[in-house]
Amino acid sequence: MEALLAFSRPALDWHALAPELTLLAFGTLITVVDIIWDDRSKQAMPTLAGIGLLATLLPVITLALDGTDRTMFGGAYVIDDFSLVLKALFLISGYVVILMSVDYIRDGDYYENEYYTLMLTSLLGMVMMSSSRDLISVFVALELLSIPAYMLAAWRKGGARSNEAGLKYYLMGVFASAVMLYGMSLVYGLAGSTAFGAIAEELGSLDSSPVAILGILFILIGFAFKVSAVPFHTWAPDTYEGAPTPVTAFLAVASKTAGMVALIQLVFVAFAGRDDVVQPFFWLIAALTMTIGNLIALRQTNIVRLLAYSGVAQGGFMLVPFAVAADAPARAVEAVVIYMAIYAFMNLGAFTVVLAVARKTRSGEIDSYGGLFQYAPGLAVAMTIFLAALAGIPPAGGWFAKFGLFRALLDAGGGWAAGLGVVVAVNTVIAFAYYARILGQMWFQPAPDGDERPVVMTGSLKAALAMTIIATMAFGILPGLVGHFGEVSVLSALGG
Which residues of the shown chain bind another protein in the complex (CB under 8 A)?
1, 4-5, 7-10, 17, 20, 24, 31, 72-74, 76-77, 109-110, 112, 114, 117-118, 121, 124, 128, 134, 136-137, 139-141, 143-144, 147-148, 150-151, 154, 157, 166, 189-194, 202, 206, 209-211, 214
The residue (of 11 and 65) whose beta carbon lies closer to another protein is: 11
Nearest distance, CB of residue 312 and another protein, angstroms: 22
Nearest distance, CB of residue 339 and another protein, angstroms: 28
The residue (of 23 and 99) whose beta carbon lies closer to another protein is: 23
The residue (of 232 and 485) whose beta carbon lies closer to another protein is: 232
Nearest distance, CB of residue 403 and another protein, angstroms: 38
The residue (of 20 and 327) whose beta carbon lies closer to another protein is: 20
In sign, the C-alpha dihedral spanning 14, 20, 26, 30 is negative
Long-range pairs, 447-452, Cβ under 8 A, ≥24: 447/370, 447/371, 447/372, 447/374, 447/375, 448/367, 448/368, 448/370, 448/371, 452/371, 452/374, 452/375
The residue (of 143 and 411) whose beta carbon lies closer to another protein is: 143
The residue (of 154 and 323) whose beta carbon lies closer to another protein is: 154
Nearest distance, CB of residue 168 and another protein, angstroms: 15
The residue (of 122 and 384) whose beta carbon lies closer to another protein is: 122
Q: Which of 337, 333, 419, 433 is nearest to 390 (CA)?
A: 433
The residue (of 23 and 344) whose beta carbon lies closer to another protein is: 23
- What is the rounded CA–CA span in Å between residue 114 and residue 23? 15
Nearest distance, CB of residue 150 and another protein, angstroms: 8
Nearest distance, CB of residue 467 and another protein, angstroms: 27
Nearest distance, CB of residue 257 and another protein, angstroms: 19
Nearest distance, CB of residue 140 and another protein, angstroms: 4
